[in-house]
Amino acid sequence: MAKNIRKPAPRQAPVPKKKAKAVARPKPAKKPASAKKSLKAIRPWTPAEIHEVFSRFRKANPEPKGELEHLNPYTLLVAVVLSAQATDAGVNRATRELFEVADTPQKMLDLGEEALRDYIKTIGLYRTKAKNVIALSAKLLAEFGGEVPRTRSEIESLPGAGRKTANVVLNMAFGEHTMAVDTHVFRVGNRTMLAPGKTPLEVELGLEKVIPAEFMLRAHHWLILHGRYTCLARKPRCEVCLINDLCRWPEKTV
């Protein structure tokens, strides 16, 4: 009898695996040339270069002046409080007449909030600012003998005064080596890479760290003036910039 030989089941041809559909991965967005350059090519500043920057500022303008008009530490404090989100020129137009009648905290209180509002009504946020000036004048009389205090924490405790106000007053009225960071100083600190930072405080601390002490009293003014008249926000005037050979901004136009 023939053996019942079981034939092996025919091998099934392997089903070709479906090729996974190639999913086109998005290519990483190309960084703009300037950004690439900014990451790669920026050489850290040397102390000698930073000294050179401020030596040039000093040579060009040995006695830089702030542009906010004032008569004494109190009127400086008031002018800085009024200058938030306003131009110095606009503040000066209003304070010229105001300070003729109110250049001390007591005279400001005597003038009163309503009349003060009238003097400063051309300045943005004048209602809030008038309230703050009256309140800070009252506080100066009640707690500081009518004088502007000399410490940061005391100045910052006054209504309407923040860190920038304290830095301006400490620097301009009392000769302290502080660095007030406004929009111009913030831009110049970042563009030049002297003190890059995401916040005004980061730029302030960065600048304080790198600027030699001999320049610190006036550095605030030099940087503001540089930002206001040369390193302009939209179209910096690199071609006439005193420090264009040293500046680290990848997009400088020289």
Provide CB contacts within 8 A for 67, sequence distance 6+: 88, 89, 92
Q: At closest approach, how far in Å is the CB of 219 from ligand SF4? A: 14
Torsion of CA 140, 146, 148, 151, to 10 degrees: -70
Q: How far is the CB of 43 from ligand SF4 (least distance, A)?
A: 14
Q: How far apart are CA 103 and CA 222, in angstroms?
A: 28
175 φψ region: left (φ > 0), alpha (ψ -120 to 50), beta (else): left
Least Å from the CB of residue 204 to ligand SF4: 18
Q: Which is nearer to ligand SF4, 129 or 221 (CB)?
A: 221
**Cβ proximity to ligand SF4, 162 vs 197, nearer residue:** 197
Concerning whether 245 is annotated as a catalytic residue, the answer is no
Which entry of 21, 40, 103, 182 is annotated as an active-site residue? 182
The smaller minimum CB distance to ligand SF4, of residues 19 and 235, is found at: 235
Q: Closer to ligand SF4 at the Cβ: 51 or 93? A: 51
Find, among 61, 122, 58, the residue nearest to 91 by Cα.
122
User: Please, what is the minimum distance in Å from the beta carbon of residue 191 to ligand SF4?
Assistant: 5
- Least Å from the CB of residue 198 to ligand SF4: 19
The residues that touch ligand SF4, with contacts defined as CB under 6 A, are 191-192, 230-231, 236-238, 241, 243-244, 247, 249, 252
Among this protein's residues, is 164 annotated catalytic? Answer: yes
Catalytic residue among 164, 198, 245, 252: 164
Angle between helices 73-82 and 163-172 (to 10 degrees): 150
Would you tell me how many other CB atoms lie within 10 Å of the CB of residue 244?
A: 17
Q: Of 83 and 192, which has the nearer Cβ to ligand SF4?
A: 192
| Total H helices, total E strands in the chain | 12, 0
Q: Residue 97 in 3-state DSSP?
A: helix
Report the distance separating Cα 53 and Cα 136, nearest Å: 38
Provide the annotated active-site residues: 164, 182
